Amino acid sequence: MIRADGASALAAPGGRHPGRTGRHADGLIFTGEMYGVQLDQLTTVLDVSQRSVGAIVAKWRTAGLAEAARLGPGPRWVWLTRAGLADCGLQYSPGVPGLARLAHLRAVTGIRLALAGTPQYAAAGAYWRSERRLRAKIGGRLGLREHVPDGEVHWPDSAPVPWAGECWAIEAELTPKTVARTVMIMQELLARTGDYGCPAAQARVLGRPPRHARVIYLCSRAALPTVARARAALGSAGARIEIRGLPDGAELPSAGTTPP
């Protein structure tokens, strides 16, 4: 995932640390953006062997930039400390990935990695805007009434793809909600016109182009029927919703998996 020139198709631009290799800096930023990453996924991000990734994480821990621990089934999780987030210029609240969200976090990371692995993504220079970044933009002053997608993919206007200029909302659906709730979320995502963190009055302005040209649902087998029914309930607007299964390796490994 890290290209030969050291530039990453995964990490946010402008997050390099002058005193650290670009690859490691991108890995740190990726980890910070995604709340936390499991070591096997970090291996893909850094494009190194499993053995090397352990050494890299150990260096991060020694420098006080990251913490690692076994939080659930599968490999260890890595997340950034306050110092690590500050080092990357990410103004997020530090914290250990919540146990209840581990499966979801892994799924979203898997989706991002799968999408970033496509040639179109790299050629277009597409940009992943993580849920953590979106929530940081919204801030915590008011209770959240709006649904925040699990990520956004921005395709630059100049990208050599037919969908250049579009912004996609990404939704990872592991457990089925009710159809009504899913329809509401779909409607909200499709109708949104303003950026996250904008005044509520600008969030949905009729007549303005929608923020999300499409909504991409990546579903587990259990959630697939509900999402499909919700899309059908939307009628013609459902054409802007794509449904796919979760990519391989995006689901949390079973408890018996041998950790690296």
Partner 1 sequence: MIGRWLSLLAAQAIIRIVAGAVTLAAALAVTVAAAPVSLVAAAALAIAWLRGWEPRRLFTAAAWCAPMVAVWLVGTARTAPTWQHVAAAPYRAWTGFWHLAATGAVPHAAATIAPVAVPLGLVAGGLAWSYRIRSLAAGAGGLSPAAAVAFDQRQWQRQARAARARIAAPGSVPLTMRNDLIGAGAVIRSVRHRGGLVAAIGYQRLRSHQVVIGTTGTGKTTLLLRLWAGFMATGLRRHAAGLGAPPLLVVLDCKGGSDARRLADRVRRVLRQAGARSTAIWPDEASLSLWSLPPRQLTSTLVDLIEHGTGSAAYYADVMEALVGLAVEAPCGPPVSAADLLARLEPGWLSMAYAAAGTAADHAMIRSASRQLADVALRFRTLFRRLGSGLDGPGGFGDADAWYCILEGTDQIAVAEGQARALVDLLASFAVRGPARREILLAVDEFSAVSRRLPIWQLYERARSLGLAVQVSAQSWQGLGTSPDERLRIAASAEGGIWLLRTPEPEPVTALAGTIRVVQTSRYLRRFPIWSHRGSSRVEEVPVADPNLIRILDVGQTAYIYRGGVTYLQVKRLVAAPAAVGGVPASPAEPPAGLRAAAAPAEVSPRVDAAPPAGVSPRVDAASPAGVSPRVDAGAGRSGADPTAVPLPDISLLLDAAFGPEHSP
Residue among 72, 75, 64, 68 at smallest CA distance from 98: 72
In the complex, least distance from residue 78 CB atom to partner 1, rounded to whole angstroms: 24
What is the DSSP track for 97-121? PPGGGHHHHHHHHHHHHHHHTSHHH
The reply on whether position 180 binds partner 1 by CB under 8 A is: no
Tokens 């690296």 map to which residue? 260
In the complex, least distance from residue 186 CB atom to partner 1, rounded to whole angstroms: 8
CA-to-CA dists, residue 105 to 162, 212, 222, angstroms: 30, 22, 18
* CA 43/CA 52 separation, integer angstroms: 8
> Between residue 48 and residue 87, which ones bind partner 1 under the rule CB under 8 A?
none
> Between residue 130 and residue 169, which ones bind partner 1 under the rule CB under 8 A?
139, 141-143, 145-146, 157, 160-166
* CA 203/CA 239 separation, integer angstroms: 22
In the complex, least distance from residue 162 CB atom to partner 1, rounded to whole angstroms: 4
Site for partner 1 (CB under 8 A): which residue of 49, 50, 178, 202?
202
Which residues lie near partner 1 (CB under 8 A)?
111, 114-115, 117-121, 139, 141-143, 145-146, 157, 160-166, 187-188, 190-192, 199-210, 213-214, 216, 218, 224-225, 228-229, 234-237, 239-240, 242-247
